[in-house]
Every structure is written in structure tokens, then in C-alpha cells.
Amino acid sequence: MTQLFDKYAPLQARVDMMMKIGQDALGVKFDDIISATRGRIGNREILLAGTNNYLGLTFDADCVEAAKTAIDNHGTGTTGSRIANGTYTEHVDLEKAISEHLGMPSCIVFSTGYQTNLAAISGLAGDKDVIFMDADAHACIIDGTRLTNASTIRFRHNSPEDLDKRLRRQGEIEGGNALVVIEGMYSMFGDIAPIDEFLDVTHRHGGYLYIDEAHSYGVFGPTGCGIAEAQGVLDKVDFISSTFSKSLASIGGFCASIHPEFEITRKVMRPYMFTASPTPSNVSAALAAVSKIKQGGYLRDNLTSRAEQLHKGLSEMGYDLCAAASPVIAVRRPNEAVAAMEWNWLMENGVYVNLAVPPGTPQSSSLLRISLSAAHSETDINAILSAFQGLKDNQGSMMQAMAAKMQAAE
């Protein structure tokens, strides 16, 4: 008789292999987070290079104080949805601030970035609509499409030409519309979408463009509005979503639109209607961060410089990097076992990066994924580069050690 968890046997085998090599890279426990760039495990201080804390605002004094004040004034939680329990002043203030920042009349905040895309995509796409989705779309975009009865068509990653071909092939959508969903900067490789070209194709076919700027809001553009602002087309984008858990140093998310009619979707988005609303502290921390982002050109400048420094150094060492310099730098490794072994070596030598493996990566890649912060210094980047040089210098001995561990575990 088949048991409930038998379907996870292949996954368990992969986990067992990882544990034979070293520790659980997907379940790291930090005993202390010291700063935006430092953590502690036991007695060891670790340089954090995989946190998505792009602007380093998690320890910003104004953001911390805003969160504390909100707890003092309105408690620790909302204990229900805005539909059931009402809206707090903090929710309205944040929606207004993001609307003004983006220059869009409508903005809705959500409890997480993941729920943002679940809610907004499923609320926008009706039964007769067709969703056109980038092939490398994040899991929350994929799951958002699954909550709808709309047809979904994937197009080749970052290819306006392939989107154009598929929109032409689809032809006129009787009784419905085309919703095109892309990302600004993609979270695994750090590659950037040609939003201006996607806008041209989408609008030429009468569709609507939805951009997830989760990893690019706060990071790109003169005032930090994201890739769309950097490419000069922000005022033409139909919908922009993002999360609070990256540059905004909190937890939650938002979707904003140039269409005032977007407000009606509050009454139909199930992940909005049936989930407790964001807490006063999370919303207030994010609100303080929006102000920092608008004035944070110096933060973006430092982040860009550190990204260029790291990308150049790794390239000169001969590492295979997945994209041009950006705040996300992904190092492609030969396979999952090698990536896990190298991840362990980096941790043992004081550097934390992300181990990223299939199915959560494009092209079934095994990656050592680095996400940089404006709080990183030039010295920090040199330390990361030194660790990767050590990784390369010790490759032979690491492979022998891995083989010995695997053999001993059999």
C-alpha cells in the first residue's frame, strides 16, 4: 500500500545526499543577526551575502523606531483581514506613500509578497482572459495563474520577440484580454528584463503589462521605483507588484496600478479578503523605508559599485556567472553535489550565500547565489572574493573529502 509521504522519496534522497556532504543548506539557523551584513552561528561570525537585504535597512534607526512606535500605539497584530476587521491608519498611509512614489492612483498592500501576486493575478484575470507569462517566472506568479480559470501561455525568457509571436498567434481574445506578466530583475540569475520592449509589444496587441519588481523596487531608477523607472517607462506600466521583504526591510507586499479601477479588486481577491492584514509594525517599518528609498541614491550607488566589484573579481577568477553585474550574482556550478560541497566550504570559512538547485532554478542550474547589500563595504566584497579564490584553490582536496564522506555514509 502506498503511504502518504512515499511521493517525496526522491526528494528525501536528495536531502540525504546533502546531509552526507555537510549541513542542511536549506535549513540554516543563525543564533544571532548582528547587523545587515553579519550573523552569528555558535561562536563564529558569518559574513551575510545571501539575504536580499539590498539597501541594508533592516537595522536602520528610523525603520526600527517606526516599528516600535507602531507596536506601542496599535499592538502586535491585526488579528484579521481588512474586510473583516477594518483598516488601520498605517495601511492607508503606506498605500498613499507608495502610490505617490510610483505616480499611480491605486495601490493595495498585502500580508506577504507571495500573496501579492497570488491575489493580484487571480483578481485581474477572468475566465475569458489569457495570461502570457515569462518562462522563468517566480513560483508565486505561477501559483497566481493557477488560482484563475484563465488560459496561461508561457513565452521564452526575456524575449519580447517570442511574446509578440505568441500574441499574434493567439489573435483577438473574444470577450477577454491579454495579461502579460514579467519580472524586473529575476531573482535567481539577476538578469534584467527589457521592459520598454515588452511594453511596446504588449500594448501594440491591446494587452496589459504586469511587472513583479520584488527584487528591483528600491534598487533601480533615479528614485528607486525599479527597472521600469530606470528604462523611462514607469508611467506606461499597467501594474507593478513588489514585496516589503527585500529593499523595504519588512514583510508584506503591494500592487499598484495606473488604472483607478484596480480598487474594485479588493472585493474579489481571495488572498487579500481571507488573510489577516499586515501588522502595524511591519507596515510602519515599510513606510519609513519608502522614504529612505526615495532619497537613497547614495545607497543605490554603493550597491552598484559593490556589484560591479564582485562581478569583475569573480569573472577574473574564471567563474561562470549567469548574468551581467547586478545586486544578484549567480555562480553556476557543475551539479548539485558540487554546489552543496562548495556551499559548506564557504560557510566553514565565514561566508553565507544561497544554495539554489532545481526545480527552483532556471535551466535546471545548480547555483551559488549571492545577493548584495548597500551595507556591504569594499572590504566585505574583498572578503567574499578571497573566499571564492580559496574555494578554487582547494577544489581538489574538497572533492576527495566529499568522496570520502559519501563512501563512509554508505
Residues 257 and 275 in one domain: yes
Q: What is the pLDDT at residue 407?
A: 65
Choosing from 238, 272, 294, the residue where a domain stops is 294
Peptide bond between residue 327 and the one before it cis (omega within 30 degrees of 0): no
In a domain? residue 277: yes
Residues 51 and 132 in one domain: no
Type of residue found at 195: I
In a domain? residue 375: yes
In a domain? residue 154: yes
Choosing from 273, 294, 315, the residue where a domain stops is 294
Count the domains in the chain.
Answer: 2
| Helix or strand (DSSP H, E) at 408 | helix 395-409
Rg, the chain, Cα only: 22
CB 363: neighbour CB atoms within 10 A?
12
Residues of the chain with pLDDT below 70 are: 403, 405-410
Residues 6+ positions from 129 with CB-CB distance below 8 Å:
148, 150, 151, 173, 176, 177, 178, 179
In a domain? residue 19: yes
Residues 290 and 211 in one domain: yes
Q: What is the pLDDT at residue 296?
A: 82
Residues 290 and 309 in one domain: no
Q: What is the pLDDT at residue 146?
A: 96
Residues 232 and 320 in one domain: no
In a domain? residue 1: no
Q: What is the pLDDT at residue 406?
A: 65
CATH of the domain at 189: 3.40.640.10
Residues 87 and 221 in one domain: yes
Choosing from 262, 294, 326, the residue where a domain stops is 294
Q: What is the pLDDT at residue 377?
A: 98
Q: What is the span of the domain harbouring residue 389?
A: 6-55+297-409
Type of residue found at 32: D
C-alpha cell at 40: 552569528
What is the percentage of the chain residues whose pLDDT exceeds 90? 90
